[in-house]
Each structure stands twice: as C-alpha cells, then as structure tokens.
A and B are shown apart, each in its own frame.
Chain A
Amino acid sequence: MNATPNLNDLKPNTRDQGTDLVLSGAEVLLRVLVEQGVDVIFGYPGGAVLPIYDALFKQNAVRHILVRHEQAAVHAAEAYARATGKVGVVLVTSGPGATNAVTGLVDALMDSIPVVCFTGQVGVPLIGTDAFQEADTTGITRQATKHNYLVKHPADLARVAHEAFHIARSGRPGPVVVDLPKNISVGPAPYAPASRAPHPSYRPRTEPEREAVVRAVAAMKRARRPLFYTGGGIINAGPQASEALGRLVRKTGFPCTSTLMGLGAYPTTDRQFLGMLGMHGTYEANLATHGCDVLIALGARFDDRVTGRLDAFSPGSFKIHADIEPSQINKIVQVDVPIVGDAGRVIEMMLEEWDRQDGASDPAALAQWWQQIDAWRGIRSLHFDQDMTPSAIIRPQHAVRRLYELAMETGRDTFVSTEVGQHQMWAAQHFQFDRPNRWLTSGGLGTMGYGLPAAVGAQVAHPDALVIDIAGEASTLMNIQELGTIAQYRLPVKLFILNNQYMGMVRQWQELLHGSRYSESYSAALPDFVRLAESFHAKGMRATCVGELDDVIRAMLAEPGAVVADICVAQDENCYPMIPSGAAHNQMLLGPEQEGEVKVSAEGRMLV
C-alpha cells in the first residue's frame, strides 16, 4: 500500500492555497482545530484514526473526551455546541465508528446544530475493496449531513478542514463530516490558514431584505390579535438574538409562544409568554395560534408537531415567516411575507421599523386579545393534582416542578437535557428557562438516548454549572454506558429518571389509538438504578413516594459528584394537554377525562 505518498506526486485539487509548512496530515488537522478555536473534541479511537490519536497525545491545546459509544460523541458535541454557541467537534474511526455516529449526525441535521465530525477511513488505495472496517462513509452520511467531504489529496486537507467549520456554523448550522483516509493523516500535507476568500458556491444569506421587513411590520401595526411564534433559529442566532426578541416582544406588547427547540429564547416565566405550542403545548398557546390574525414566525419551521392538522392551522391569519433557509419558507404553510435572513438580524430590523413606522397596533384590540388569552390561561391546562400525603405516588409533573423549584433555590446556572418521550414534554412544560442555550433536547429526530451524552457535553462546556438530564428509564438505557464517561472525567451530572416502567409515550399512544394493547412498551427487567449508579462510581438515590421526593432532590443537588436519581412515578400518567394526531389546535384534549371523546380520524392514525 502506498501509505506515504510524496507530496509532489499528488496533484492538488481546486483552490488549494499553497504553503511551505509541511506536517503530517494528523498534525495539520490539529493545527486547524486550534486555529478554529476548538478546545474540546469528543471521540473514540480505532485503527483508521490512530495517527490522529497519536498527534493528540503529543499536544495539550485540544482536550479529548473519550465517550463510550460514537453516537454519544455526536450528542455530546451537539450539546456542547448548543450550550456554548461554538462548533461541536467529533473524532471517530472508520466503518462502525462512522456508522455509529450517523444517528447523532441526523439529529444535528434536524435540529440545525453545528457539528464537525472527523471520521477515519481506510487508505485511499484500499477504498472500494471491502477492506477491514471500511464503510462508504461519505455515501452513508450524504443525506445525514449539511455537507461532507472525502479528503483524497493531502493538499486539500487544511482547506477542507477549515471549510467544514465554516459550513457547519454559518447559514443554517448543521453537521459536516470530513472523511480522512489513513494515508492522508499519516503522510505529509501542507498546512494553510483559513481562507478569507468567499466560498465559490456556498453563500448563505443572513441579511434580510428591508422591504420584506417593512411589509411585516406594517402588518404587525395593523394587527388586532397578533402572536409571535419563535423557534430554535433564535437560539442559533446567538444570545443577542434572544435579547433582541425580548425587546421586540415587550415593545410591541404582543404575546409570544415558542417551539420545543426555541424554549429559553424568551423567558418562559414572563407574563407575555404563553408556553410552548403544538401537540403538547398549552391551551392558551394553541388557541392563540388558532385565533390570531397576524402570526409572526421567527426561526421556526412549521413542524408537524407544531401545526397539527394543516388545513386547520391558524386559519385566516396573515403569516410572516423569517428563516435563514429559503427552503423552509412555503415548505409546509404558505405565508404572506417571507423573510430570508438571520433571526437576530430580522428582529433588529423589525425593532428599527417598529420605531420608524407611524401608528401602533390598536391598544383596545390588543387589550381585548389579552383578555381572551387570559381567559384561555384560566383553564390552567398544565394543572395537575398531586396528593401530598407522604406515602402518595409521585406524579411526574410534580417531580419536574419540584426539581425546577429546588434547582432555582441553589442559584446556580442550570442546564437541562432530556431524553425523548413523556418526560421530555413534562420537562418542557414544567421546567422554566429564562435564558437561551440552557435547554438541550432532541426535537426534530426525537432520539431516545440523547440526554445523558448531551449532559456530558454541557458539563464539559460548563464544569461549574448544574447539569441535569431529565430522563425516562427506557430512553436513558439507550446510552447508559455514558455513566462511564461521566465517571472518568468526574462530571457532576445529575441523571434524574422519571421511572414509570413504561416507554410512556408509546404506552400513551397505544392507550389512545390501539385499545390499550401495550405491545412491547413495558420496561421489563429494569436494572436497579441505584446499584447501577454505584457500579459506575456515581451516587444512587431513589424516591418512591411524595414524602421522599424533596429530600432526594435536595441530596442530589447538594452532592458534589454525579448522581443517578431513580424517581418512581405514577405508571399510568399521560402527557396533557394533547392535540391528537390529525386534529386541529382548537381540538385539544386537556386531560384523561376527555380521552373517551377521542375520535382519531383514519388519516390521523397514519400520522406518527
């Protein structure tokens, strides 16, 4: 095998910048990481990346966090990115290393998280020969990434690595894979600094058209029943975008709702915030969406979990949609004013135009709208009754509420990750987020097993912060091996398991749609989570009744190290309010007493 090609033999591909500095490919890669401001990478070694691991060993600028599964490396990097605003970086080996990472990559793609994933590959001469641990990584990840590369020529390495960061973080952020054949990382390669020249074909638009914003603000000024519908794009636009959103919402006096991914952009405890909208959104958020006359969507994408039945989604409203990605506009819902641009820039421009244009929305109409919203709020759709007898069974909503309240008492900066399912929705409903970048959840892909590695990533990013994974017992078992990572790096992550011994959301749907035939949704043969924690050098705790709950949460928060808290909660609890699939926003179920009234249409049954 021609493992150490002579530089002169290798024809440089397009756009190489040329430099005199020649290092090994692995060293070039590390220099790029340092130049890109990377201080942490998440990874797992293997044959095809050994040269890179050897280069890592010889330096101190980049810290490597060894995960226990490549999927977890990507989730940790996603959470690191979400919690810091930087690009998350992953390093995995060829073949199974790369294929294991695919779920994380798609997760990052769906939620627009900037991640660069370096994958090892067999040497170029072996590509296509079914070599040991060979997989067609660029082929497999083509639809799983924003973009991907196979570096075939040493002269391309530095440029491609820099470009990967640019593409991951700019425009609508997303995951980028760089596949590195072993001969490229072993052999000599020229180093080149990041190019300042614009990319020849990739030119994302961030600055909105003034004219579109002018039309949008004119409609906002005429609005009688306006509503802001904000999404993850605002989080991606950086903390200053969230701060600007706060100013815009307060200045206009309009109500604001948010998607799952957007929570924290506007303070969820504020009076102008109506709670999350969509399938498990609040009554007031969904009814306001249904009844508004001007809907201002900012950095959101009209996901099916948000819209419910499309032909009944916010009927009659004038729709403004700002998104950085032109493909998101008019994809699901036809809008009246499309705005392509960075959410933060759009909001700033809206603020300028709001001041510039005469008049203001009719205060009487707005007051009446708020009166209506307050009436909907009066329904208290998130309300639940917790029996406070010490021996009473813990309701999961109560556990989340108490976790929030007691965590706030500590006064610590708090980051919450979740797995996927009922507990995720209860966390979204009952935990409050007054700042962006502190809510880490898998929204678009709905990846069970996201939360624990995400907590790793957030804790690595913020060693002194309080990091809690609000989990379900089924989801967390999908990446429970990360307790090993948590132990190795002494990460004081708190794994807070709402244990109902069911895949709760699956069970809920089986109850609603499949005659309560709980096909394979019971979590049989669960581990003893307390002893599991101990075997991973963490503290195990358990609460089995209301009387024990606060003490366990307090002990967990006081514990300096990692904790697994097994919170045994009501098994039959369902997540409400709920818009059954195929139904409209004004056809919400508020609680189990309405379950009998569910008539899910044949079409609704086919939706997920």
Chain B
Amino acid sequence: MTMQDETIVSAVISILVENESGVLARVIGLFSGRGYNIESLTVAPVEQSRHQSRINIVTSGTPQVIEQIKAQVGRLVPVYRVADLTQVGPHVAREMALVKVVSSGEPRTEALRIAEAFRARAVDTTATSFVFELTGATEKLDSFIDLMRPLGLAEVSRTGVAAIIRGPRTI
C-alpha cells in the first residue's frame, strides 16, 4: 500500500466554468462542505462569447487532498476544466492590493519611499493619506503591507490571485 504524504502544500487551482447563476456557490459550497481551505478566491468572466468564467482558488492541503479537490471540482456539471497550476509547471500568479496609509511627517515620507521601491502607485493622495495600488505575487503584497503597518496603515483591499501557466500551454 502506498504511504500517504502528510506534508501540507499550497496549490493554485484554476477552474473554467459555465457562466451560469449559482456556479460560484457550487464551487465554494463544495470547499466548505468537504472541509477544504480557501486562502483566496477570484472569479470573473473570461470568455463572454462562450459564457465562460474562470475561478482561481489558492488552497492548501496534503497532496492527496489537493488531488481530491481537483476530482471533486471536476465532478461539478458546469465545470469545463480544472487544473492545479502548481503541479502543471511554471505559472504566473498575481494579486492586486489597494493599501490606505494615513500619516504625516516622517512616516508619510517613509511610506512614499517604500512605495516607490515596491513600484506601488499612489492612486489617491490627500494631505494626510495615500492609497497605493500594488500588483505582484502574494508574498510581495504581504511584505509591503507589513512595512506599511508602523507607517499608518489604515485599510487594505486585496483581489486574491489570478494565475496562468507560463509559455504556450493552456489549462
């Protein structure tokens, strides 16, 4: 009998679905009903003409659980394709954050300086606040937000991950 691997791995699951009412509820209901994690979730129509939407879910679990997630999602009637991008190979995973920093004086200058280093754009500026827009890997967003914390971090809005395979392959 094969031994089960108990290490917890992170996975980016991309799901192409028929864009019909309730389809997102089906997918996330399956995750909650079977006790799978959702670390982040994005969903938007990608093929308007073909009524298709893409859902990207960042999840974690043992390799066996990740396999189960793929198989269970694949069972859903409106699902066209499901892929674990972390398994498929090199992929790009990006997230966007809007970060509001409220401060003045030295911390404000420092926030702007760090924002430049991270290539974050100030999309809204007042005398006492900035809203920075930042795109990148989840870890990059995490460290930017950490750095802003002592500098007047007031509010964060993040999109969750959009991901795609590198090179000519598609899911």
Query: Contact between A142 and B29 (Cβ–Cβ < 8 Å)?
Result: yes
Q: B119 on the interface (CB 8 Å rule)?
A: no
Query: Contact between A200 and B64 (Cβ–Cβ < 8 Å)?
Result: no
Query: Contact between B29 and A319 (Cβ–Cβ < 8 Å)?
Result: no
Binary B-proximity of A557-578 (CB < 8 A = 1, otherwise 0): 0000000000000000000000
Query: Contact between B71 and A201 (Cβ–Cβ < 8 Å)?
Result: no
Q: B126 on the interface (CB 8 Å rule)?
A: no
**B80 contacts across to A, CB distance below 8 A:** 200-201
Query: Contact between B67 and A330 (Cβ–Cβ < 8 Å)?
Result: yes
Query: Contact between A200 and B75 (Cβ–Cβ < 8 Å)?
Result: no
Q: Smallest Cβ distance from B63 to chain A, in angstroms?
A: 10
Query: Contact between B71 and A334 (Cβ–Cβ < 8 Å)?
Result: no
For window 328-385 of chain A, which residues contact chain B by CB distance below 8 Å? 329-331, 333-336
Query: Contact between B75 and A142 (Cβ–Cβ < 8 Å)?
Result: no
Query: Contact between B21 and A150 (Cβ–Cβ < 8 Å)?
Result: yes
Q: Smallest Cβ distance from A481 to chain B, in angstroms?
A: 31
**B4 contacts across to A, CB distance below 8 A:** 334
Query: Contact between A200 and B18 (Cβ–Cβ < 8 Å)?
Result: yes
- Interface size on A (CB < 8 Å)? 29
Binary B-proximity of A310-333 (CB < 8 A = 1, otherwise 0): 000011110100000111011101
Query: Contact between B77 and A319 (Cβ–Cβ < 8 Å)?
Result: no
For window 1-17 of chain B, which residues contact chain A by CB distance below 8 Å? 1-4, 17
- From B32, which residue of chain A is reached at the shortest CB distance? A143
Query: Contact between A336 and B2 (Cβ–Cβ < 8 Å)?
Result: yes
Query: Contact between B71 and A326 (Cβ–Cβ < 8 Å)?
Result: yes
For window 127-159 of chain A, which residues contact chain B by CB distance below 8 Å? 138-139, 142-143, 146-147, 150, 152
Count A-B pairs with CB separation below 8 Å: 60
Complex formed: what's the CA distance from A315 to B68 in Å?
22
Query: Contact between A143 and B51 (Cβ–Cβ < 8 Å)?
Result: no
Complex formed: what's the CA distance from A326 to B68 in Å?
9
Query: Contact between A334 and B2 (Cβ–Cβ < 8 Å)?
Result: yes
Query: Contact between B74 and A201 (Cβ–Cβ < 8 Å)?
Result: no
**B168 contacts across to A, CB distance below 8 A:** none
- Interface size on B (CB < 8 Å)? 27
Q: Smallest Cβ distance from B34 to chain A, in angstroms?
A: 10
Query: Contact between B25 and A142 (Cβ–Cβ < 8 Å)?
Result: yes
Query: Contact between A14 and B22 (Cβ–Cβ < 8 Å)?
Result: no
Q: Known contacts A201-B18, A336-B2; is A327 also within 8 Å of B72 by CB?
A: yes
Query: Contact between A143 and B77 (Cβ–Cβ < 8 Å)?
Result: no
- From B78, which residue of chain A is reached at the shortest CB distance? A201
Q: B35 on the interface (CB 8 Å rule)?
A: no
Q: A167 on the interface (CB 8 Å rule)?
A: yes
Binary A-proximity of B45-82 (CB < 8 A = 1, otherwise 0): 00000010000000000001001100110111111100
Q: Smallest Cβ distance from A157 to chain B, in angstroms?
A: 15
Q: Smallest Cβ distance from A115 to chain B, in angstroms?
A: 15
Q: B105 on the interface (CB 8 Å rule)?
A: no
Q: Known contacts A14-B51, A327-B68, A330-B67; is A138 also within 8 Å of B22 by CB?
A: yes
**B26 contacts across to A, CB distance below 8 A:** 142
**A317 contacts across to B, CB distance below 8 A:** 1
Q: Known contacts A200-B80, A315-B1; is A327 also within 8 Å of B75 by CB?
A: yes
**A319 contacts across to B, CB distance below 8 A:** 1
Query: Contact between A325 and B75 (Cβ–Cβ < 8 Å)?
Result: yes
**A314 contacts across to B, CB distance below 8 A:** 1
- From A340, which residue of chain B is reached at the shortest CB distance? B71
Those 7 A-B pairs whose CB atoms lie nearest each other, nearest first: A327-B71, A334-B2, A147-B77, A201-B80, A202-B77, A326-B71, A327-B72
Q: 16 A-B residue contacts at CB 8 Å? A: A14-B20, A138-B22, A142-B29, A143-B30, A143-B33, A167-B77, A201-B17, A315-B1, A319-B1, A326-B74, A327-B74, A330-B67, A330-B68, A331-B71, A333-B1, A336-B2
Residues of A within 8 A of B (CB): 14, 138-139, 142-143, 146-147, 150, 152, 167, 199-202, 314-317, 319, 325-327, 329-331, 333-336
Besides A14-B51, A146-B77, A327-B71, 15 other A-B contacts (C-beta < 8 A): A14-B20, A138-B22, A142-B22, A142-B25, A142-B29, A167-B77, A200-B18, A201-B17, A201-B80, A316-B1, A327-B75, A330-B67, A331-B68, A334-B1, A334-B2
